[in-house]
Structure 1
Amino acid sequence: MFEFIRKHSKIVMVVLFLLIIPSFVMFGVDGYRRSMEQGAAVATVNGADITQGEWDEAHRLTVERTRAQSPNIDARFFDTPAAKYATLERLVRERTLRAAADKYHLAPSEARLASTLQQDPSIAALRSADGKLDIAQYRQILAAQGMTPESYEARVASDMALRQVLEGISSSAVATTAQADAVLAPFFQQRNIQVASFKSADYVAKVQPNDAELQAYYDAHQAVFRKPEQADVEYVVLDIEALRQGIVPAEKDLRDFYEQNQARLVGQEERRASHILLTVPKDAPQTERDKIKAHAEQLVATLRKEPGRFAEIARKESQDPGSAAQGGDLNFFTRGAMVKPFEDAVYSMKKGDISDVVTSDFGFHIIQLTDIKAQRQRSFEEVRADLESQYRQQEAQKRFAEAADTFTNTVYEQADSLKPVADKLKLTVRTASNVGRNAAPGTAGVLANERLLTALFAPDAVEKKRNTEAVETGPSQLASARIVNYTPARTPPFAEVRDEVRQRLIREKAGEMAKKDGEARLAEWKTTPASARLPAAVDVSRGDAAAQAPAVVAAAMRAPTASLPAWVGVDTADGYAVVRVNSVAPRAANAKSDPTSERMQVTQSSASAESNAYYEWLRTQLKVQIKAPRPITITAPGAN
């Protein structure tokens, strides 16, 4: 092989030139580097790699979901190494559980999957009065999320399989009252403490930094004062809601719509029934159940002979508190309003019939069908308001689909301005100042969307001030933006941030002085406790802080109490505190407690611990390895 290369070196060089150089021309060295980085393995699960690209995409989706749920969250939180590493750990956990589900064949049955889907509130809301699912709307909602019914149901099945991996462990956890008491007694114990506070604010006046000190602090902390890149932008939004509000249907259109949907607008049949309920405890022995059912059958026989006595006997015998006083009357109801055995019986009866004994989870029922309201066609006037809402929504969806194509094409084809697309679709060009690559806390609307901001600050958009592509910023919502003025990230000169430098330095120095004094007092009082002059004592516990700072309570509860009094110092949000623990007592006798709830909490904690232990065992079995280094957490000196 090497001999061939030596003899034909020129040919080899030509081949390499043809293969490699065009790629560098098209993508550049940075493109190769990014490609390699995106394909680099950051973790391995059961022999399968998780790449840097998959990690980045998972973090992007995590950020989008979190910001959709909490729009006011500080976007800077997501850029920390710790936040990104947490995403990788969640991704590894998901892959591990998925691999375990596949290995142990834990896929849910079709019946269980169907039951889970039926209980999904978002799907249940799409069912009409007759119980039928609006398939068209179901597909449309999923399509807006980039899914088909098949892919959505596969995802639900996959999620159920993942839960099954740990459910067997977590559901088997149990804690007795004695175990709960042993765990919770130390947690709820009380400690009598005295607290001396050394507040930073009390030392501020003592800090008088000179210009040299301020300059030195600025030189050592320039990264703190660095200003991020910012831009003044303009943007347009195409929103289905705005289209819907602008649609005013003509009377003829509404009546045509009514005619086209008459079959769907037929009112559902209603039935009125009365019943007598004989309840049965769920844990009742079979002999007792048989006895109650026999009594119900006797009542059926009596009522079929004397149906006019149904209300009288219901008031006397029925154990349904909601209907017994009304002679068992349940008024009119439609399908889906009652439990299935009851409903099946009612809709198989004729007016005036008295049923056999019907068994449900509530007990034994005897039913009399008292009236039937047949299906009827609702008039145009009755359904006008609903029709108008449905018509506007349907028309808005049609218009949005057409407008979305125009929007997408125009912002791309006429990329140097947003005015053309605004003129075509009658949109408003909006403006915003000081927009950053990461949304500022409290930012709402499309300028809080990470995908739009990423596109806005892409190199081409920054350098050439071109429109971004059309970005989906919400369900049936598109946006495009462009930079008008751009200010790159910079470190402002000392003179510009002198006041900020001074405030930071004073806060730090004041905090250091407060802590120094506190530590000196702590050492003195440990040696000569009688010299301590402390505020009045208070009783604290983890459940009752008695107005003390969380850090103070935590330090007091952690302090060793083999020898009392015990002394401990702790950094607080506003300075430093010295805590003296005088005594320890069990939970107050009059403290409110719910043994059942507490036992449940301990059971949940035990289940969580056992599930985590099982997960760690799965990691060893599936040879899970996280290759990306864990971020280093820096703890401030002197912190407890």
Structure 2
Amino acid sequence: MFDFIRTHQRLMLLVLVILIFPSFALVGISGYTNYVSGNKDLVKIGDASVTLEDFNAAQRNQMQQLQANMGAAFDPSLLDNSQARENLLESLIDRGVVIETATKAHFSVSDNVLRRAIAAIPELQVNGQFSPERYDEVLASMGISSRDFEQSQRAELALQRVLGPIGFTAGVPASVVTGLRQALTEQRTLRLKVYEANAYTDQVKVSDADVKDWYSKNEERLRVPEHVRAQYLVLDEAAAMKALPAPTDAEMQAYYDQNKSRYVLPGRVLLNHILIKASADASAQEREAARAKAQSLAEKVAADKSSFADVAKAESQDIGTAKDGGRLGWITRGILPTELETAIFALKQGDVSGVVEGPDGFHVFMASEVEPERGETFEQAKAKVEAEIRRQLGAERFAEMASSLRDLAYDNATTLEPAAQALGLDIRTATGIAQDRLLPEQQVQGQAAAAGPDATILEDARVRRALFSPALMAEKQNSGVIEITPDTLVVVRVDEVIPSSIQPLDQVDDVIREALVQEQALALARKAGEADLATYRAADGNAVPEGFGSSLTVSRVSPQNVNAQALEAAFRAPTDTLPAYTGVEGQGGYVVVRLEGVTPGNDGGQALANLPQEVNNLWGRAEERAVLKAMRTTLGVEVLPDAQAVIQGEAEQQ
């Protein structure tokens, strides 16, 4: 049943499975097809093997997926180290063990199980239900036939049968969970007395001989990794605007006029009206009657302006506003027909207009409030106008310069001079750029990148990745244009490669001296703390000794900002006799813990509601690891000498 793992090549092209099943995220599909390939073997797994080709393919897949997930923050050094390579090889071995076991045992799954599994894939569902249309659409977009996809899923489900039942059925006794709940929620009341190492530095004397002795014994700790001195060009908004000519007064006036609404709020009127309707096709007699009625109402409200709202409610034929006393709200120019606005904006606050003819009839207006045009005149807004014009011109100039920078950096592959001269940019230089970080200033000679104004740019993973690429390291070519932000571009080149070296004593004397001071100060803090601890333990009585802080009640799930070392010491302390004392050394000094009370734990309530599932999951994973270890022994897994070269990064990439 499972022989297709070795024989069906098309089944291995399962790009979709990479997207759906996390198990492929690190290993990749290539493992299926390459276990019987003829390239260099790294690990023997029964009748199969993990090859160098398998490893290289999985590493590329791992790199691509991490880069896709992290985007600009991706740093190749996360994967380019021995620990990451060893972890990847281990995952390949585990995958191979599972495949080999499933193959030998002829594991398979039924059609019903396969159908249920496919229907449960979220990518193939619409509104939580399996969609045949969505299924066809996804497979078509990936270029995979339904037969190949279903066979691949059957294979994956068969592999899951190897370890799946172990994790699904793993569980710990209820008494264990109860014990964990009580341990996590048990409370201890304590006080702390802290002996800060910094308080003892004045008592420390470090001689030149001490420094030399430490240096001779710890040279490798002072090794500076290989790094580069780089030349680079930065194109940003400031560079783009630097050469822009100042806009003329005429240009600024034209811009102000075109964008006046950005600087000036138009005048407006809080308006009420009475409307007597007269349609455009009404007879002359009907229109005259409507005008006469409007005139009568205009005279009435002009004589008593306070009656306007009541008259509007009773007489206005604008149903929408009549019930509100004719209220139209705030009106600015450009809303109503011109003939109406002319009359409206001629009114002063409290004025009532005469009869104003409009498209829909005859109006009588009253201006409840009038706000004149307000804002900045051209002279007042001139500085803003100039800045906005320059900003717009700068954006256009930036786009032009960016295009030119790409061309110039490419056309002059080993120098930045032509691009700098053509674009008016300064060639900047910084050193101390290692593959995984910017080195501190004291470790480099020259302008340290870490201490320079462009540290944020140069520590970007994309910049370091470009500098340590083969073309830039060996040929000292220009990089492509690297977009740090949408308005900050950089082109870099390696000016010099500085090999790894151990710093001379005279450069690190101060660093060593400070380290020795801190080390000896910590020893003095520990000595003082341990002496007091012995005194406290020997004393009788419950009085709180001098120097202890206020009482704290802590638990393992609520540490109250007590550091991990002190918290662990507090819960390890015996509770037979209280108060009890214990001490622990931390990074910054020594802490004496006075334990004053213990409150038994409880079930933890809602905060620990998921504890049984979490513990079972952890236990399940532990059992899976144990079974995998046993399966490795059964299959006779043999890690070959070439595997160590791969882990150390010494194997030739294919």
Bigger-Rg structure (1/2)? 2
